[in-house]
Amino acid sequence: MNTLITSILPYLPKWFSKPFAKPYVAGETIDTAIAQVKLLNQKGFSATLDILGEHVKSKDTAENITRQYCKLYHHINDNLLDCTLSVKPTHIGLMISQSEAILNMSTIAQNAKEYGNFLRIDMESSQYTNQTFEIFNNCRLITKNVGVAIQAYLFRSLDDIEKMANNHFNSRICKGIYKESNLIAFQDREDIKNNYLLMAKTMAVKGAFAGYATHDQDLIDRLLDWIKSEKISKHLFEFQVLFGVPMNGRLETLLEKGYKVRIYVPFGPDWFEYSVRRLKENPNIAKYVLSNLIKNR
């Protein structure tokens, strides 16, 4: 039943799908997103806001999204929130041109600097990897408080870390979600996890800060075993997860043990496609939502 619901949601009206999407998205507006971050901060979690959307082909739209991100820094500052921002290059103009993306990301980086905040540059499919690193390097000329995401399933990622990592480098390590060729990316889950751990260890050796972005409980266990055995400083890493993904109390346990946990909070009017992807990864959510809908009728 869960799989059936998840498979037909993309073909149903959005109003019907909204209750199933709600666990994964902090609403459609800045106000709803800020309210959700406040709740997370009260529980001890750090947060990162992400405006949903990608592959923008209109210059006006890219500039509008850029202004929204800059506005978010203002709201975060006014509300004294423990919250940063994450931006996809194709959301602010990379599909228009490299120069457009650099211009807009530089504007966001300048606002991050002015507000004493941090900017994470997200990583998309492999066709954009080199361009994303170029954007990242341009932003590093503006502020030191900028980082980039690196994907563990790409063969090149360990070399990228070897080249870039130092005690001023900050990276979000994730497995990677895009469909990539076996010529450039690991396909086996265990190979991806092993490479993830190698990347984490290399970052620590180089004194770089790493965000361990994963919902994989086994991988978290392996990271914790290594952290404890090698006495890795808590100042060199944090755990990161996506808003709404079930973790069975693991996040609270990490907080209790003194680890920093950051929750990525997506929001915005482009919630539909994102939520369908999350539901396909966690179809049990459909069962819980459907059960609640029936109970509350």
128-186: pLDDT as tens digits: 999 999 999 999 999 999 999 999 999 999 999 999 999 999 999 999 988 899 999 99
Per-residue pLDDT, averaged over 177-197, amounts to 96
Residues 6+ positions from 62 with CB-CB distance below 8 Å: 56, 91, 92, 93, 96, 100, 101, 104
What is the domain class of 26-177+195-267 according to CATH? alpha beta
Q: Are 239 and 261 in contact, with CB atoms under 8 Å apart?
A: yes
Can you give the pLDDT at residue 276? 61
Can you give the pLDDT at residue 8? 54
C-alpha angle 266/122/36, rounded to 5°? 20
Catalytic residue from among 120, 122, 140, 160 = 122
- Is 172 considered catalytic here? yes
Catalytic residue from among 50, 120, 140, 172 = 172
Give CA–CA dist 149/175, Å, rounded.
10
Residues 6+ positions from 68 with CB-CB distance below 8 Å: 30, 51
Segment (H or E) for 251: helix 250-256
First CA to last CA across the chain, in angstroms? 20
Can you give the pLDDT at residue 243? 92
Segment (H or E) for 66: helix 59-78
**Cα 64 to the chain's mean position, in Å?**
21
- Tell me the pairing of strands 146-151 and 119-121: parallel
Domain ranges of the chain: 1-24+268-297, 26-177+195-267
**60-103, pLDDT tens digit by residue?**
999 999 999 999 999 999 999 999 999 999 999 999 999 999 99
| pLDDT above 60: residue 258 | yes
- Is 67 considered catalytic here? no
Mean pLDDT computed over every residue of the chain? 89
